[in-house]
Amino acid sequence: MSVNGPDEVGLALVIGAGGGLGAALVAGLRQPGAPAQAAPAVLALGRHTTPVLDYADEATLAGAAQWVADEIDARRMPLRTLIVASGYLHGVIPGQPGDRPAQPERSGSQIDPAYLAHCFKVNAIGPALVVKHFFPLLARSGPCVAGFISAKVGSIGDNALGGWYGYRASKAALNQIVRTAAIELVRRNRRAVCVALHPGTVDTPLSQPFAKAGLTVRSASVAARELLAVLHGLTPAQSGGFFDYRGQALPW
Ligand SMILES: NC(=O)c1ccc[n+]([C@@H]2O[C@H](COP(=O)([O-])OP(=O)(O)OC[C@H]3O[C@@H](n4cnc5c(N)ncnc54)[C@H](OP(=O)(O)O)[C@@H]3O)[C@@H](O)[C@H]2O)c1
C-alpha cells in the first residue's frame, strides 16, 4: 500500500500493542516518514490499554471497536492499517489451578486440553473476533491493509520437525481465518490487502525461553521495521497470502 495523496491519509491500529513486537510496531508506525501516518494517528489496544481489549471477554472487543469508531469520526480519517500482534506460546493460563506456566508440547504424550484451548483462544479465536468487530471499521475505498502476525510453524506444508501441537495448530487455524477474511474484505474494498505474516525469530518474552545458539534472533524494532515495509509494499493481488518478514510467500 502506498499512501500518496491527502485523500489516502488514514489511521493505523495495532492490537496486542503491549507485546514485544506489538510495542515495536506502534513505535515504527509513529516514526516520521513511516508508511502509515504520524504519531496522533496510531491507535494501540491490548489488555493494559484504555479501553481494554482482552480475548477472554468479547465485550471488551465490542467496546474497543466502538472507541476506534469514535476516533475515526473525531479525527475524520478512515482506518487504513490494522495489525494484530497478539499471540500465545507459553506461560500461565488464566483460571488454571496452580497457575503453573504451560509450555509447548514436545510430544503427543504432553497434549493438554487446557493448553490447546488457550492457544486457540489467543492465536485463532481472538483474531477471528477482531475480524468480526474491527473489519467493519476498515476503509471502504483507497488503500487498506490488515496484517495478522502468524508464525511459520503454523505452516502445514513446512512442518518437518513436529512438536508444538497447540501453537502450530492454532496458527494454522489463524491462517485459514485470515485467508477467509481476505476474500470477504476485497468485496468491501477492492484495494484492500489482508495477510498472515511470519516475523522470524524476534527477541521478545514469547521467544526468550527457546533462544538457542545458531538461531538468528532479531530485535523487535528491526523486525517491526521489516514487517511494516512488507505489509505496506503488498498489492491487492497478494491479499489472502502468507508472507515472511522479507516478503517471501510461505506455503500453507
Ligand atoms: N517472538 C518471536 O520469535 C515470534 C516468532 C514467530 C511468531 N511470533 C508471533 O508474533 C506475535 C507477537 O508475539 P511477541 O513475540 O511480541 O510476543 P509477546 O511479547 O509475548 O506478546 C504477546 C502479545 O499477545 C497479547 N495477548 C496475550 N494474551 C492475550 C489475550 N487474552 N487478549 C489479548 N491479547 C493477548 C499480549 O498482550 P498484553 O500486552 O496484554 O500482555 C501481547 O501483546 C505473536 O502472534 C507470536 O505468535 C513471534
Q: Give per-residue pLDDT as tens, 2-13.
A: 443 444 689 999
Answer whether residue 202 shows pLDDT above 80.
yes
Running DSSP on this structure, what letter comes out for residue 107?
Answer: S
Q: HEC states along 121-161? A: HHHHHHHHHHHHHHHHHECCCCCEEEEEECCHHHCCCCCCC
Length of the chain as a residue count: 252
Average pLDDT over the chain reads 93
What is the distance between the alpha carbons of residues 75 and 88, in angstroms, rounded to a whole number?
33
* Residue in 125, 202, 210, 231 to alter for ligand 1 test, most ligand atoms within 8 A of Cβ: 202
- Complete edge-to-edge strand list for the sheet that includes strand 242-244: 42-45, 11-15, 79-84, 144-149, 192-198, 242-244
* Residue in 25, 206, 207, 217 to alter for ligand 1 test, most ligand atoms within 8 A of Cβ: 206
- Domain limits, the chain: 6-244
What is the distance between the alpha carbons of residues 117 and 120, in angstroms, rounded to a whole number?
5
- 211-220: average pLDDT: 86
CATH superfamily of 6-244: NAD(P)-binding Rossmann-like Domain (3.40.50.720)
Helix (H) or strand (E) holding 12: strand 11-15
Q: What atom of ligand 1 comes closest to residue 84's alpha carbon?
A: 45
Q: Say how many Å lie between the CA of residue 14 and the centre of ligand 1.
A: 12
Q: Which three cell numbers stand for residue 128?
A: 477471528
pTM metric for this prediction: 0.95
